[in-house]
Amino acid sequence: MIMLNCMNQFSRFLKYATRTTPLLTTRELNVFSKFKSEFKSRFKPRFKTALALSAALGLAACGQSTSTTSEPNGAQSQSSAQPQEKITLKLAHGWPKGFPVFGESVDDYAKLVSELSDGRIVIKVDSANKHKSAFGIFDFVKSGQYDIGQSASYYYGGKDPDTLFFSSMPFSMTQQEQAAWFYHGGGLELANEVYAKHNMEVMLGGNTGMQMGGWFRKEIKTMDDLDGLKMRIPGFAGKVMASVGAVPTNIPAGELYQSLERGTIDALEWVGPGLDLRMGFHKVAPYYYNGWHEPGTELMYYFNKDSMAKLPEWARSVLKNAARLTAYNMTTYSFSSNTENWQTISEQYPNVQVKRLPDEVIKALKAANDELVAKETARSEIAKRIIESRQAYLEKARAWTTIGEKLYLDTLEAQ
Amino acid sequence: MIMLNCMNQFSRFLKYATRTTPLLTTRELNVFSKFKSEFKSRFKPRFKTALALSAALGLAACGQSTSTTSEPNGAQSQSSAQPQEKITLKLAHGWPKGFPVFGESVDDYAKLVSELSDGRIVIKVDSANKHKSAFGIFDFVKSGQYDIGQSASYYYGGKDPDTLFFSSMPFSMTQQEQAAWFYHGGGLELANEVYAKHNMEVMLGGNTGMQMGGWFRKEIKTMDDLDGLKMRIPGFAGKVMASVGAVPTNIPAGELYQSLERGTIDALEWVGPGLDLRMGFHKVAPYYYNGWHEPGTELMYYFNKDSMAKLPEWARSVLKNAARLTAYNMTTYSFSSNTENWQTISEQYPNVQVKRLPDEVIKALKAANDELVAKETARSEIAKRIIESRQAYLEKARAWTTIGEKLYLDTLEAQ
């Protein structure tokens, strides 16, 4: 009460003073206001004790005001736009609790936000074990049921087909190329344009790196080998495979190994060595094919616009930049997991053979993909803009990749 | 004065109270202490005016204490481990003011730290224009003359030869591979082990991406073309070139174009298209060779250990994580600059030809490099550990790159 009375009196003085003269800047008024609200929220519960102790100790109270009522908690928020200092936000991600790489990364995010904000922002993370809806992140954040989400954009083509283009596309950009497109080629602005319609802002969420073309029980030598091939390959790439005669299916993760082992399916794609190793596919389908369908899949952080609008600028900056850093950290971690686990597979399972799809197969897949993409381009004005932006950036970025890293790798490989 | 008297009195009360009973947690005491110092630093200069105005307005001052002396500024820092709330740090980087990519990135760093800390951490950036010592960053931060520095580790081989291995090495890891080594393969720990001897901690500083082998006036067809070739190529790679008969030189940046144009030198390496374009080398030396000597050069942030030890944990976290994010942002920006500028060069200067060094030249350069690295390995126990760690990680990371991104790029290129 002692301090609060001092502060309330000072606050009234400041309000009066600033109506008559610009004595303090708006920034300074905000500092004072934040100050007061943090003080209240942190110290209030103990003030009764403090006051009693103060009296017992015979200390002079500095507050001599006759007013014994303190301002209600909400009052100071009217005198400034600042919210309460301690911010608690709810986050939902689409993976099982502690899921390797993807889920671990979200736990890292919450920890990083807490560290950067000196404990002022608390993020409560709910995994799919809790909210029971692996593909519900879009709706959760759109509705404000959760303030933040992490998932993959291309899971939500059913909600809005324009969300399809912000994870990865067959025959498209690698992780480095796509990150440059997002941050310097207009990609993130386009993603935000799409998600703004759904009351969300977005930030990159971490990249898997090159996804392998998958595990096959038999070698693919000609187009005929694709005919009727039963393969677990969902989404857009599944449509591409269907166009060339394969039979794409989707099967729950828990049943994949058995399906492949028993021949219920002939092939499947999962991610890359980093996540594939623990699934055991290499034991029953020894042909590991080159990537083509997801050359660098980016996850995404979702932020409810209303939740963000209530926050002060520094808090928004912490949330966005922490997401950006977490995304990068996950990308590097994916690379490292792929490195370590490919070493394990190649050393411990000499039966595994890395294969390249025959040129005629690649050609057919690419033609089928181009046709499907052309349909998307015709669908809407924004789909056209996104696809053209991706295509233009791919061309120039690939030109650099080709004379830069690829030429280096080619040169060394020739030795 | 009004508020400060209130606060000083409250502060004395708290100190007394907490000696007798744990009335407030240490954390709460710290909050109060931070508050007071922030209030002092932000509001003090205006208090005289405020007081005068307060009297004129006839407002009752809440501070009725007879004590007119306020605590000296340092006093509250003795009552808690927290430093002053407003933290000001000095940073020196080794580039001209606003230097593209490298220097811009440091300005971004200072801005990011300010944002993330809600203005509580202020970084004053000095460029080489100010401190006049482009290669003095190591000594500046070691001595504490600056709290933070940004430069490239391999500039300091003269100060400590073990610093040579943390930027890039010929025929070694690409940017992605090396980032995984730093963050997940023990690289950053080794760098910190080396720099701890010099009272510094380090964090990655941003990567140039693949550096091109350089601009040559004449094509290199056989080993004979290297004999006596005058080339601007400093450092370790210069030694490698000398081993195969070339004459490496170093020339100030401002004189490079003229030297190349007049034939004072036959070739030079700079960085990659992103930074090379503005130098104009492509106009006078049309052969642009594959990279080999710096396949992904990482800059570095330096932190003086004593400066860091004085800071609270959240501030250290902000400084380190902001560096980590800035480094990544610079890496992506480098990729984008290389992409954009290579497009410009290839479209506007059709005379430019990208070339690959002949196999016999690469073989000779690699043998010379291996020999020089072997000497380094024999030099000290830690040099051996660093080189072996790099080599082991390169092998497994390259295996992944080869079946992942490279196989994808090869497959598409064949179409």
Has residue B150 got a pLDDT over 90? yes
Q: How far apart are CA A396 and CA B119, in angstroms?
A: 39
Q: What percent of chain A has pLDDT over 70?
A: 80
Token code pair at residue A238: 């599944």
How far is the first Cα of chain B from the last one, in angstroms, to the nearest whole number? 78
Give contacts of B183 with chain A, Cβ < 8 Å. 329, 332-333, 336
Tell me the per-residue pLDDT of A163-217, one tens digit each, with 9 for 90 and over.
999 999 999 999 999 999 999 999 999 999 999 999 999 999 999 999 999 999 9
Token code pair at residue B80: 């808690």
Q: Are A37 and A76 in contact (CB under 8 A)?
A: yes
What is chain B's mean pLDDT, rounded?
A: 85
Q: Are B285 and B190 in contact (CB under 8 A)?
A: no
pLDDT at A189: 98
Flag whether residue A215 sits within 8 Å of chain B, measured between CB atoms: no
Nearest CB among A119, A171, A338 relative to B412 is that of: A171
pTM equals: 0.81
pLDDT at B85: 76
Q: Are B286 and B353 in contact (CB under 8 A)?
A: yes
Fold of B87-206+297-333: D-Maltodextrin-Binding Protein; domain 2 (3.40.190)
Q: What percent of chain B has pLDDT over 90?
A: 77
Burial state string for B198-208 with b = 16 or more CB within 10 A and e = fewer than 16: bebbbbbbbbb
pLDDT at B253: 86
Residues of chain B with CATH 3.40.190.10: 214-293+351-379
Q: Strands of B194-305 (E only): list them.
A: 200-207, 214-216, 230-232, 247-249, 267-268, 287-289, 298-304
Q: Are B201 and B316 in contact (CB under 8 A)?
A: no
**Between the CA atoms of A227, A229, A231 and A234, what dihedral angle is there, to the nearest 10 degrees?**
20
What is the domain class of A87-210+297-333 according to CATH?
A: alpha beta
Chain A: residue whose CA lies nearest to B340: A396
Average pLDDT over residues A337-344: 98
The pairing of beta strand A214-216 with beta strand A267-268: antiparallel
Has residue B81 got a pLDDT over 70? no
CA–chain centroid gap for B124, Å, is 15
| Interface contact flag, B212 A343, Cβ < 8 Å | no
Token code pair at residue A18: 């600033």
How far is the first Cα of chain A from the last one, in angstroms, to the nearest whole number? 79
What is chain A's mean pLDDT, rounded?
A: 85
Nearest CB among B17, B292, B346 relative to A399 is that of: B346
pLDDT at B90: 98
Residue A342 Cα, gap to closest chain B Cα (Å): 6
Has residue A402 got a pLDDT over 70? yes
pLDDT band at B37 (very low <50, low <70, confident <90, very high): low
Angle of the A175-184 helix axis to the B313-348 helix axis, nearest 10: 100
Q: How far apart are CA B320 and CA B121, in angstroms?
A: 13
Higher pLDDT, A43 or B409: B409
Flag whether residue B69 sits within 8 Å of chain A, measured between CB atoms: no
pLDDT at A51: 31
Q: Which CATH number fits domain A212-293+349-379: 3.40.605.10, 3.40.190.10, 3.90.226.10, 3.20.20.120?
A: 3.40.190.10
Give contacts of B415 with chain A, Cβ < 8 Å. 359, 362-363, 366
CA–chain centroid gap for A240, Å, is 26
| Interface contact flag, A333 B411, Cβ < 8 Å | no
pLDDT at B250: 87
Of A334, A389, A378, the closest CA to residue A177 belongs to A389
Q: Are B13 and A59 in contact (CB under 8 A)?
A: yes
List the single range of A54-68, A286-300, B106-120, B368-382 with lowest mean pLDDT. A54-68
Q: Are B191 and B327 in contact (CB under 8 A)?
A: no
Give contacts of B41 with chain A, Cβ < 8 Å. none
Average pLDDT over residues A241-261: 94
In sequence order, what are the beta bridge partners of B92?
B126, B149
Q: Which residues, at least 6 apart from A285, have a Cβ–Cβ distance to it below 8 Å?
A: A215, A216, A217, A260, A267, A268
Average pLDDT over residues B99-123: 97
Identify from B293, B405, B412 which residue to disrupt to test chain A contact, counting A C-beta atoms within 10 A and taking the largest count.
B405
Nearest CB among A31, A321, A407 relative to B42 is that of: A31
The pairing of beta strand A298-304 with beta strand A230-232: unpaired
Higher pLDDT, B279 or B32: B279
pLDDT at B217: 98
pLDDT at A415: 81
Q: How far apart are CA A105 and CA A332, in angstroms?
A: 11
Has residue A121 got a pLDDT over 70? yes
The amino acid that residue B380 corresponds to is S
pLDDT at A253: 86
pLDDT at A45: 37
The sign of the CA dihedral B263, B232, B398, A291 is negative
Residue B252 Cα, gap to closest chain A Cα (Å): 25
Higher pLDDT, A78 or B245: B245
Chain B residues 87-146 with CB within 8 Å of chain A:
112, 115-119
Give contacts of B62 with chain A, Cβ < 8 Å. 5-6, 9-10, 62-65
Higher pLDDT, A128 or A25: A128
Predicted-complex ipTM score: 0.81
Token code pair at residue A86: 């301690």
| Interface contact flag, A339 B396, Cβ < 8 Å | yes
| Interface contact flag, B414 A362, Cβ < 8 Å | yes
pLDDT at B252: 85
Average pLDDT over residues B335-348: 98
pLDDT band at B39 (very low <50, low <70, confident <90, very high): very low
Average pLDDT over residues A262-267: 98
Tell me the per-residue pLDDT of B265-286, one tens digit each, with 9 for 90 and over.
999 999 999 999 999 999 999 9
Identify from B34, B401, B408, B410 which residue to disrupt to test chain A contact, counting A C-beta atoms within 10 A and taking the largest count.
B408
pLDDT at A63: 31
Q: What percent of chain B has pLDDT over 70?
A: 80
pLDDT at B191: 98
Tell me the per-residue pLDDT of B200-231, one tens digit each, with 9 for 90 and over.
999 999 999 999 999 999 999 999 999 999 99
Tell me the per-residue pLDDT of A294-310, one tens digit each, with 9 for 90 and over.
999 999 999 999 999 99
Fold of B214-293+351-379: D-Maltodextrin-Binding Protein; domain 2 (3.40.190)
Residue B340 Cα, gap to closest chain A Cα (Å): 7
pLDDT at B415: 80
Chain A residues 313-342 with CB within 8 Å of chain B:
313-314, 317-318, 321-322, 324-325, 328-329, 332-333, 335-336, 338-340, 342
Q: How far apart are CA B259 and CA B133, in angstroms?
A: 24
**Between the CA atoms of B269, B272, B274 and B276, what dihedral angle is there, to the nearest 10 degrees?**
20
Give contacts of A321 with chain B, Cβ < 8 Å. 112, 115-116, 322, 325
